[in-house]
Structure 1
């Protein structure tokens, strides 16, 4: 076998070109784009196949030199929820196989699918193309269902079955952390020898600490008053991400320390997603109900450059998720030199080093969250120490290292490829 020269990626339910922070676009979108860019920089041609969600999308779009995004027509462009997409798997698979059929036999050297829906299609393509299937779960239904947020819906049985099928079909599974690898083995009976841990990365050129004068300029640009205490939430607004936990904690904090109201700003950067789409104004209503709508500021999703400025301008970034396979927001914020207050769940226990780059909070009760946030607001030496430790912690996560490890995984998968069933 020669080196990997052409790679197919499948990201069925969300396009890597979508703006992260709303709808179904989030950390996985960033992962697919950044990994593809780094692989292309190593002279590997990457074709990303995703479902077309607009008639204005070109059939093939060059995202970056060496990276082509193929918009596959499967079902109506709009109106389909993620739970309705399984009905479109056959059409998507047919069009994927048709696209590959236009090339000589053996066009792709490997296939990397993202999320269980893509894995279902990838399993079929793997058998037809006779190339290894490497799969990344990104999130797992059994893990999510074990720690549901209040008001969230359990993942359906169809997903549980589908994930199990993908685990059994894949030649190699990529886990974001050691904990996720254990979950794949213990909850899905994955073969330990077919699970590789590859940390996702951070663009350390975009997400980087600012000097104090540049940080002050960023605050002015974002209309954040000088001397204010800024507690930021960034991400999709849905129960899984727990933005309500931050708001309830802020209410507790202000009840305890009402004098902070005049200097506290709580930006929420992101848009409704998942079950949050059913009640898109629920968070604004909660802020009003808690009597903190004067300190909470809702900001639509922004691009990476602007997001980096929000991170750098904040005193702390809250990540109160009920589950994270990795926790990209936490890693990006730390890379900007900003302490993170995160729930002690999933990959966040790997990304955040407690008392070094941020604070980990057990559970989602507002009281301990308020205490943790107040520590950062009140304790300037602690805040300075965490600001110094945050970029050091984030520095171990780079997309270059992710690409190198994924390439090793693709090569290993080629030596372990199962015979088609």
Structure 2
């Protein structure tokens, strides 16, 4: 393996100078919404930058296929030391899926050990998702650093919330082990904290709530907005003499997989069109198919005529995503399971209300009835009724949007990083309550 670039040592006022971050199945440099990249990529990227702002040198380890060379990329070029450096570790074939990667954990763990041979070891190891957690358990003793682990999603919760979800037994066993053996577990919300205790029997006092943040330099109500190009067929649909109300503009942003629920949204729009044929709806679905159970979006999209217009948009950078949020009347988050719901937080920061399922972290991110609406039961009919109701009452959406922008100030990456710095230094925690 080619030599990897060493991060600069530095002095940190928090007593933590170097952190090893393990994000093996997906790199923080990847575009969210494509492949296996999603909210976790945003989480890792922003927290690493904020840890650097606190004076820590951060080495991020991610896996690439064995056909690619080992390489290191400085994720914070042009800034003063210390840096965030992403190290790409080759292991496994190109065809390996996310669920295959646990087979290569011993090989990847050895490469991490080799990296630190002759270098200063990290003061803390922070692993993300169960595959990285297994590697963290392997290298923790050799590096002499505590292991802080963030699950991001939980297999038992996904299978509980979505009866069609199937998770490999090896993942459940790995999460059980991490719940028992990690020095610290971080949860996005008090709900996830309770799930770690109840479903995984995580020891009391070893779980801390660290809410994710929002980049409010990008996700803000002020800035350009973007929407689908005008469509002549609305004039025909409205009739020759009427002055039609603009269509209700909806954004879905995320991976196009059953767990994220784009199929539920499209079914609900079809039902809404039958309930209220005078109303019109436009939806921009921003993302790519992902996972083993991908959706045939070509079969789900409505036809070119009728009161519903839907278009697929490839994943876009954060600045463009913010413009889409600002151009929408409503952001839909029809997920069957969400440990946090970063899209909902970012949409609200743009002053756009959210319609979401009442699951997981969304119960904490959306202020129900004030910044949007939470629906129970994952019912297309219930979703349709609410879509029709807000289409007829745009003033409610405007009020929710104003309140959403204020509500989003509670989500702060810098505060998240400060709490993590405390956890890296002091693994003994007070029990959390739901």
Q: Please, what TM-score do these two structures have when normalized by structure 2? A: 0.88
Which residue of the other structure, out of 229, 240, 254, is the alignment partner of 1:223? 229
Q: CA deviation at 1:87?
A: 0.9
Contact 2:159 2:167 survives alignment (8 Å): yes
CA displacement 1:355-408 (0-9 Å, x = unmatched): 111000001111110122222221122111101111112110011111111111
Whether 1:61 aligns to 2:73 is yes
Tell me the residue number matched to 1:370.
384
Q: CA deviation at 1:88?
A: 0.8
Q: Map of 1:271-290 to 2, 5 A cutoff?
A: 271-277=288-294, 279=295, 282-288=296-302
Whether 1:88 aligns to 2:104 is yes
Greater shift, 327-336 or 227-236, is seen at 227-236
Which residue of the other structure, out of 86, 92, 106, is the alignment partner of 1:75? 92
Tell me the residue number matched to 2:241.
none
Tell me the residue number matched to 2:150.
136
Which residue of the other structure, out of 112, 121, 129, is the alignment partner of 2:135? 121
- Looking at structure 2, the residues matched to 67 and 348 of structure 1 have their Cα atoms a distance apart, in angstroms, of 30
Contact 1:113 1:135 survives alignment (8 Å): yes
Whether 1:239 aligns to 2:258 is yes
Q: Map of 1:334-413 to 2, 5 A cutoff?
A: 334-413=348-427
- Looking at structure 2, the residues matched to 352 and 274 of structure 1 have their Cα atoms a distance apart, in angstroms, of 27
Contact 1:344 1:362 survives alignment (8 Å): yes
Tell me the residue number matched to 2:201.
189
Kindly tell me the number of residue pairs found equivalent between the two proteins: 399
Unaligned runs of 5+ in 2: 1-12, 232-244, 430-434
CA displacement 1:272-309 (0-9 Å, x = unmatched): 111344x5xx1220224898696011101111010000
**Which structure has the highest helix share of the two?**
1
Contact 1:316 1:341 survives alignment (8 Å): yes
- Looking at structure 1, the residues matched to 307 and 206 of structure 2 have their Cα atoms a distance apart, in angstroms, of 49
Q: Map of 1:30-69 to 2, 5 A cutoff?
A: 30-53=42-65, 59-64=71-76, 65=79, 66-69=83-86
Q: What root-mean-square deviation, in Å, do the aligned CA atoms of Structure 1 and Structure 2 show? A: 2.1
Contact 2:184 2:206 survives alignment (8 Å): yes
Contact 2:28 2:44 survives alignment (8 Å): yes
Whether 1:311 aligns to 2:325 is yes
Task: State the secondary structure of the residue aligned to 1:111.
Answer: strand
- Looking at structure 2, the residues matched to 18 and 187 of structure 1 have their Cα atoms a distance apart, in angstroms, of 31
Tell me the residue number matched to 2:119.
103
Task: State the secondary structure of the residue aligned to 1:18.
Answer: coil
